[in-house]
Structure 1
Amino acid sequence: MNADPAILYAAHLEVLKDRADAALERASLDHLVVPSGTVHYQLFDDRDYPYAVNPQFKAWLPLTRNPGSWLVYTPGNKPRLVYLQPHDYWHVVPDAPAGYWVDHFEVVVIRSADEAQQHLPKNASRCAILGEPQSALGQYGAFKPNNPPAAVDYLEYHRAYKTPYEIAMMREATRRGVRAHRAAERAFRAGASEFGIHLAYCQAAGQDSTELPYGNIVALNEHGAVLHYTELGRLPPKPVRSFLIDAGASHGGYAADITRTYSADTGDEFQALVDAVDAAQQKMCAQVRAGADYKQLHIDAHLALATVLKDFGVLKVSPGDALARGISAAFFPHGLGHGIGLQVHDVAGFAASDTGGRIEPPEGHPFLRLTRVLEPGMVVTIEPGIYVIDMLLEKLKQDGHADAIDWSRIDAFRPYGGVRIEDDVVCTDGEPVNLTREEFANLG
């Protein structure tokens, strides 16, 4: 396949036009109008929050730091980019539009955000305007996002199917993330604190915390049992036993999402547990095939992880019994994974069709974020985990399941927190493509 981004982008844009044509027809509207979003300010202050671009905007353009700009698409016409390049000496002014994508747009440069309205369709009632309420323009917010469900449902459903251009962007994001993960492991082995590891990660990724697709989870020892641990301790614990890092990177508006776990002593039993989860995870990744029901992959992951727990003497019951009684959920309380792309937790994970509807998670598994049947072009994360979470284990006792667990084994693993391994995997017509493993192999 030709990896030239200019060629891939041209084909990607044609796909977006076709999707927009269909979405507008569904909504009985004439124009697609997408603001890039605005800067938000903190209450009682003049400080702004980190800007986050509208995902519907960056689907069309690799622009992530351009608030106040707009995309306009009318079927049959060249898309228009209304590009805010203000006269400003307080802040850095965006460069003039440049790159492989520019020739595909009619570019209009404006100097103030309010100027955009004169370059948008005249009749807002004939537009599908996709964005946040704060993007409204005109007196009394006359030109404001309406997010018509028929258009949004269609566009978000089909965003699950990534174009070759999008896969290329995600591969580059993965390359950045893997490089940074290697640097984070080196910092861990050198005795750095959580905060120090985080800084090493950002340095290697070449991205600061506002450019990363989500806040880094950098957890030493027991902190690995906090699923979204983001406190970043300034001093390392004594002794350091384990390290769990869930951290991604961005490129061209697309995300990578990677998790790895390490033991401080590569010969101890916790490292053996990490290795067992890793082996199970690779088998799960191999099941990312066209026609596979992701709900079933999640259930199968519970059985696989319960088998690991049984092998390590934590469970006294069979994997099937652990699943049926809800015991496995105390050790693996989150979902197997989610769709990924323009957003880390990509949209429409529950969508029944492009006209709406919802596919519910399996009973007893409320935190699964993806319930669709996999098809070629979908990119998903596979992130099984095993944790020692005392509040969930206490509930098992209260619910009468204490006899199913060897509590001395819980005591042995508690100081290590938990294990999670996560890769980003592309569903194809044949063998899945594991973006994460490929980049780790390339880096060596």
Structure 2
Amino acid sequence: MISAFFQHLEQTQQRTVSLITQQGYDQLLIGSGSLHGHFLDDTRYPFRPNPHFVLWVPFLAEHPDCWLLVRNGQKPVLFYYTPTDFWHLTPELPSDEWTKAFELVAYDDFAAVESQLKGHNTAVINEQLVTITASDNTAINQNPQALITALNFHRAVKTEWEQHCLREANYLAVKGHAAAEAAFLAGKSEYEINQIYFSAIAHNERDMPYDNIIGLNEHAAVLHYQFQQRTVPDQHRTLLIDAGARFNSYAADITRTFTPEGSLFADLVRGLDDLQQQLCNQISAGSNFIALHEQMHLMIADLLNRFGIITANPEIQLEQGITRTFYPHGLGHLLGLQVHDVGGWQQDEAGTLLNPPEEHPFLRLTRTLEEGHVITIEPGVYFIPQLLKELKNSPSSEHVNWAMVEQLLPYGGIRIEDNICVQKDGSENYTRDGFAKL
């Protein structure tokens, strides 16, 4: 796939040069980012690179203080940080085939980078502002919002190389989900399931695109459950696992809900899984994501009605907002170098926003889908005590079978999440394809 990577760089450079020229810049300097120290301590947080940098150099996701200089008609210059340091391992200058796309410069003093800026009008994108000594005919604009907004908009359409990386990240993550299911059925704790997941995909915590959500039983009702208990519950009713993987800096974001067969909740899991697949199969370029989200609410309303959880018909449920108690979040989001990839509300490169509907404030994506978009589709049905209490105190309470809700409360909730690549006529489901390969 190295030829696809070179093609990806060529496409990225053409687009970037066009944008910086339109906005009056001679060149663009992108930093990989720097390490952050803990408060009142001499240790540092795990490094998270600037996504604008790893778009060009996905192989250097663990390398702070590197810089990339992009100019029209020239190879990008990669300034590779090689400090003199006996406390940490100083990385050697890379020599893999991908480096042929760059002019490599080893440096340990920022002056080497700064010297390339004099006499130019340069845009700089970096997490931390840098101190640059200006001189005649030199202009520096750090983190220009108009340029960042335009770049963010175009990042939504993934190149062939990016699609390959996202596909492989999914194929890796599903191995972890299969191992987690086996650990759940074997009666392991949340902590043990998490460790087994890491082992199955050969990742450690800093490799992960986000912190895993490993929720047993009632914890499955906490949308972003943030702990991993070491104690084993008396009974294993539910495992909701939201966990991904990285491949060449690109993220998978997958959720599955596991439960033993033979219960009403198991039937509900299977019912939501069927609906999720039905919706995924409808997606293609031109699909309106807001309409898809609203359709999912209608489908969930029908599911709740069919199972006898809600007695009102789907139309009344939507009119009264009942489904938002059981499905309070959005249908999905853009996916790429970041788990919640940027630009989900943007309608053009100028930054025009289409905010989500007032009744669905947590929807992260409002764009009409295009060929090459990679998105998540993640409906859920949850039994969240806080939201159920609000529903019980509302006029809509009369439509709820509260005895059945009490029966399902100990199971927490369900979320099913796949990663989809939008195509001209249909879509490719990386996640389902990955599970089929196991």
Same fold, TM-score > 0.5, yes or no: yes
Match of 2:87 in 1: 90
Residue 379 (structure 2) pairs with residue 372 (structure 1): no
Match of 1:78 in 2: 75
The normalised TM-score by structure 2 is: 0.96
Counterpart for residue 181 of structure 1: 177
Given that 1:24 and 1:31 are in contact with CA atoms closer than 8 Å, whether structure 2 keeps it comes out as: yes
Q: CA RMSD in A?
A: 1.6
CA–CA separation in structure 2 for the residues paired with 1:427 and 1:76: 32
Query: By how many angstroms is 1:391 displaced?
Result: 0.9
Specify which of 69, 88, 103 is matched with residue 100 of structure 2: 103
Give the deviation of 1:116 after TM superposition.
4.4
Structure 2 partner of 1:275: 270
Q: Are 1:389 and 2:390 an aligned pair?
A: no
**8 Å Cα contact 2:80-2:104 kept in structure 1:** yes
| TM-superposition CA deviations, 1:186-241 (whole Å, max 9, x none) | 11111110000000011111111111000000000000000000200001211111
CA distance in 2, matches of 1:100, 1:339: 30
Cα distance in structure 2, aligned partners of 1:226 and 1:369: 19
Distance 2:431 2:231 in 1: 30
In structure 1, what is the equivalent of residue 149 of structure 2?
153
CA contact (8 A) 1:340 1:380 kept: yes
Q: What does residue 335 of structure 1 align with?
A: 330
1:318, CA displacement in angstroms?
A: 1.1
2:194 to 185, 198, 210: 198
Q: What amino acid is the match of 1:309?
A: L
Alignment deviations for residues 85-112 of structure 1 (CA, whole Å, 9 cap, x no partner): 2222222222321323200100001134
Q: How does 1:240-255 map to 2 (within 5 A)?
A: 240-255=236-251
Name the aligned partner's letter for residue 68 of structure 2.
L
Matches of 2:262 and 2:174, distance apart in 1:
24
Change (3 A) 1:274 1:123: farther
Which letter maps to 1:247?
A
Q: Deviations over 1:225-270 (max 9, x none)?
A: 000002000012111111000000011111000000011x222221
2:307 to 308, 312, 319: 312
Whole-angstrom CA distance in 1 between matches of 2:393 and 2:119: 61
Q: CA deviation at 1:324?
A: 1.6
Letter in 1 for 2:421: V
Identical residues among aligned pairs (%): 41
Quote how far apart the aligned CAs of 1:327 are.
0.7
Which residue of structure 1 lines up, in the alignment, with residue 130 of structure 2? 136
Deviation at 1:50, TM superposition (A): 1.0
| 1: CA distance, partners of 2:97 / 2:320 | 55
1:287 partner SS: coil
**Matches of 2:416 and 2:231 in 1, distance apart?**
25
Question: Match for residue 48 of structure 1?
Answer: 44
Q: Which secondary structure does the structure 1 equivalent of 2:187 belong to?
A: coil
Instruction: Report the CA distance between 1:397 and its aligned residue.
Output: 2.5
Note the C-alpha offset of 1:360. 1.2
Q: Measured at CA, do residues 116 and 236 of structure 1 come closer, stay the same or move farther in structure 2, by a change above 3 Å?
A: farther
3-state SS, counterpart of residue 244 of structure 2? strand
> Are residues 1:171 and 2:153 paired?
no
Q: Which residue of 2 aligns with 1:411?
A: 406
Instruction: Name the SS for the 2:347 alignment partner.
Output: strand
2:123–2:140 Cα contact (<8 Å) kept:
no
Residue identity opposite 2:417 in structure 1: E
Residue identity opposite 1:168 in structure 2: H
Q: Structure 1 residues 240, 17: closer, same or farther in 2, change over 3 A?
A: same
Whether the 8 Å contact between 2:382 and 2:413 is mirrored in structure 1 is yes
Contact 1:85 1:94 in 2 (8 A): yes
Equivalenced residue count is 434
Q: Can you give the 5+ residue segments of structure 2 that lack an aligned partner in the other structure?
A: none
Aligned 8 A contact 1:131 1:145 in 2: no
CA contact 1:184–1:198 (8 Å) conserved in 2: yes
**Aligned-partner Cα distance in 1 for 2:281–2:207:** 31
What's the CA shift string for 1:102-130, capped at 9, x where partnerless? Answer: 00100001134x34434532257x11111
Per-residue deviation, residues 300-328 of structure 1 (Å, max 9, x unmatched): 01111111111111111111211121110
- Identify the match of residue 230 of structure 2 among 228, 234, 257: 234
1:324 is aligned, of 306, 310, 319, to 319
Give the counterpart letter for 2:93 in structure 1: A
Deviation at 1:350, TM superposition (A): 0.2
Q: Could you tell me whether the CA contact under 8 Å between 2:68 and 2:79 is conserved in 1?
A: yes
TM-score by length of 1: 0.95
Secondary structure at the counterpart of residue 283 of structure 1: helix
* Aligned residue type for 1:45: D
1:162 aligns with 2:158: yes
- How far apart are the structure 2 equivalents of 1:316 and 1:369? 30
Tell me the amino acid that sits aligned with residue 339 of structure 2: V
Q: Secondary structure at the match of 1:432?
A: strand
Match of 2:3 among 7, 28, 39: 7
Q: Which residue of 1 aligns with 2:56?
A: 60
- Partner residue in 2 for 1:212: 208
For structure 1, the residue ranges without an aligned partner over 5 or more in a row are none
Q: Deviations over 1:399-434 (max 9, x none)?
A: 321111110111011000000000000001112100
Residue type of the alignment partner of 1:401:
S
Deviations 1:140-190 (A, max 9, x none): 9x9977221221121110101000000111111112101111111111111
Q: CA deviation at 1:287?
A: 2.0
